[in-house]
Structure 1
């Protein structure tokens, strides 16, 4: 569905009106296109005194073909007062060990605040507070969240900001997953992701031969693949090299077949709430491929009513499709060892599962349950080297959101740092990154794809 207001704002007359009246100003976002460079300009890499990640991150960025700007040259020109533009700011804050050291953040970011290109990127690297040597260091590292989330709301012009926690016990897989994370966050793949905290720890991660096809050789199951986010996801996964198994209910068979034929995927018609669904799915996977490397639980429904007016069937259906079916399928696939070491499970939650939503107690409960599933499964599967993560979409432009009343729809679009709704491809790009073999050291994360929504922030 088109956003007419955003289109108007990007016209000459619209820009003048927005500036004069102080209206929301949705920028044109830079999204990923195959073959394009990760960034359209240089990266300014800075560091607090004693930062432990500057050197390896510099190597990662250089290996990715990114031009690095010397911080000594990124200072205001004495004549014009202008600071040279950068496409991204990456700052290693791991050397900050107490609150007094936070001044180094100001010293780095203050002169750069107006020198980041439109749709630029800001990434701060930190240490997980739980791994800090003492309370003062943990306090300072926790403070970084306030910095990055505020930058995401302040810098504007489509600029996003993230905090990436990197474990002290870094091994080769950690560095591989850090590279995958930086490639994702710096590129147009992350256009609608901002204000997030991402943890990179240990796991089983393998760098691809070709970063343009990071899912080559992977068998990926996508539920709810006939339309909307699921269809976009199937397309992105296939583009990234995966063998896609697109699953949906028999009633969506025609749309499912259309998506599958378009990308060369296998169409699987199955009602996930049927008693024998997990067994039938497991037998299909075992017989066709002998395994499934990635399971993406995207299937979901809404049956909205306020709790006092909601009948039991509405409650039961939403919980069963959105949460219980995921548990049953995970349990059987894991029991039969059809998800191998290095496998991925990705669930689709929602901002409603974080902030709640009027008229959606059943939906919000199910989507909060998906977050609980990630929290509980991630440590349980660590020894099997299977990662578990979730994405939590905010306002995404789909046929469902097109049915929302105009005033509510416009509020949903504008109440985020990017002042616009996201696209299904934004959710798909984020899930694909979590599915990459290179992302194996990323587990237990819930990444919001919401343009840094004000709800639940």
Structure 2
């Protein structure tokens, strides 16, 4: 679906009108292309005094061969040298330098006064971030902080990151990564994702990394040898998910209802995958999914993407519309998960990824049934995560306004509001959701469990 306003904004007259009227000015976001490096551009790296994650962050920056600069911070320079990261000197008075990413280790901040370290690092270079740049703050999970004062200070980081995401514009995304004690070795998949164009439409998010076994992967093919099932794979977001998982090395079993078989076969043929026509609400859906995956070595990844909307205000909603949406969007996920988890239906280090929605976070007019189902998906992730064993994880994405056939049917005025009411001033693409799902699906993402990441360009709804 074409965003005609964004096209207009690129024209000479459009630029003139937008500048003089103070209208939103969406830029074309960088998105991942196969073969490109994780980040194209320089990284400015900083750290608060006594931060514990500087060496681990340095190791990731070294692994991705980043061009890293740092100011006069002896502890950071020593930590970088200890892992072989070459850090170039940066003078904060150098306003000519431009950076694709600003990365700050805030894990050493232990009280309110020390929060000034954020200002000291970011203020001098706030205007030196390139288009589609990244701001990443890494902190200590408040729940695992050493004192109440430290927990308060670490929780305060959320306000900083979410405000920066709204201030910096130009497609710049800002994220906060909370790292549990002893989880420093589990941060690589998260930093790679957030630094790269794969996270183009993810901003203002808080991601929590916990301690887990680390697994070495081929970063070019992190899903090599894995088998994935994607429900609702015949079109839209599901089709994009199937393509991205296959690109990353997985054999994808494309699942949808029999009525979608023609499109399902087209998608499967494009990615050399398999087809499973199935009503996901059937009582034996979990059993059939397990059987289909068994022919490919067992199930490693299941993506619960299938979903429907049947929008009506509550006063006008018929009971069958309520039941249909709850059954497909939520209850079917529960039943399938229960079967797979109780019948050895997922391989070791398996991944369950659910698709929620910002409607499940903020609610929405005329969507009580849909919002209930998607809020329930968040509950499914939150309360299932602590029960999982054998390296299995569960996480969710919550898309905002994504350019699909569904959003194309929204009335013009509402559609335009949905596109502009976020920090990117535009709708996202199905691939943006798919890239985030692939990040959760990665074999290296062992430390991610119970997260819900919004793919919404930092929408104002529920922010």
Q: TM-score range by the shorter chain?
A: over 0.9
1:435 is aligned to 2:429: no
Distance in 2 of aligned mates of 1:373 and 1:321: 14
Deviations 1:175-197 (A, max 9, x none): 2x311111100000000000000
- 2:278 matched to which residue of 1? 270
- 1:372 matched to which residue of 2? 379
- 2:320 matched to which residue of 1? 313
- 1:407 matched to which residue of 2? 413
**Deviation of the 1:363 alpha carbon:** 0.5
Residue of structure 2 aligned with 1:214, choices 212, 222, 231: 222
- 1:234 matched to which residue of 2? 242
TM-score (norm 1): 0.96
Residue of structure 1 aligned with 2:202, choices 193, 201, 224: 193
Conserved in 1, the CA contact under 8 Å of 2:303 and 2:353?
A: yes
Distance in 2 of aligned mates of 1:84 and 1:281: 53
3-state secondary structure, aligned to 2:444? helix
Distance in 1 of aligned mates of 2:216 and 2:165: 29
* Structure 1 residue ranges (4+ consecutive) displaced by more than 6 angstroms after TM superposition: none
**Deviation of the 1:83 alpha carbon:** 4.7
**Deviation of the 1:291 alpha carbon:** 1.6
**Alignment coverage as a number of residue pairs:** 447
Deviations 1:232-258 (A, max 9, x none): 000011111111011000000001011
3-state secondary structure, aligned to 1:126? strand
**Deviation of the 1:76 alpha carbon:** 4.5
Distance in 1 of aligned mates of 2:418 and 2:210: 34
- 1:84 matched to which residue of 2? 97
**Deviation of the 1:290 alpha carbon:** 4.2
Distance in 2 of aligned mates of 1:200 and 1:136: 21
- 2:391 matched to which residue of 1? 385
**Deviation of the 1:90 alpha carbon:** 0.4
Distance in 2 of aligned mates of 1:358 and 1:312: 18
Deviations 1:387-426 (A, max 9, x none): 1100000000000100101000000000000000000000
1:32 is aligned to 2:41: no
Conserved in 1, the CA contact under 8 Å of 2:37 and 2:64?
A: no
Conserved in 1, the CA contact under 8 Å of 2:397 and 2:455?
A: yes
Residue of structure 2 aligned with 1:291, choices 293, 298, 312: 298
Distance in 2 of aligned mates of 1:43 and 1:127: 22
**Deviation of the 1:279 alpha carbon:** 2.4
Conserved in 2, the CA contact under 8 Å of 1:83 and 1:111?
A: no
- 1:122 matched to which residue of 2? 135
- 1:444 matched to which residue of 2? 450
Conserved in 2, the CA contact under 8 Å of 1:76 and 1:83?
A: no
- 2:12 matched to which residue of 1? 12
**Deviation of the 1:283 alpha carbon:** 2.6
- 2:80 matched to which residue of 1? none
Structure 1 residue runs of 5 or longer lacking an equivalent are none
Counting only pairs closer than 5 Å after superposition, residues 342-381 of structure 1 correspond to structure 2 as: 342-381=349-388
Conserved in 2, the CA contact under 8 Å of 1:45 and 1:70?
A: yes
Cα RMSD, aligned residues only = 1.1
**Deviation of the 1:121 alpha carbon:** 0.4
Conserved in 2, the CA contact under 8 Å of 1:203 and 1:387?
A: no
- 1:165 matched to which residue of 2? 178
3-state secondary structure, aligned to 2:187? helix
Residue of structure 1 aligned with 2:343, choices 314, 336, 346: 336
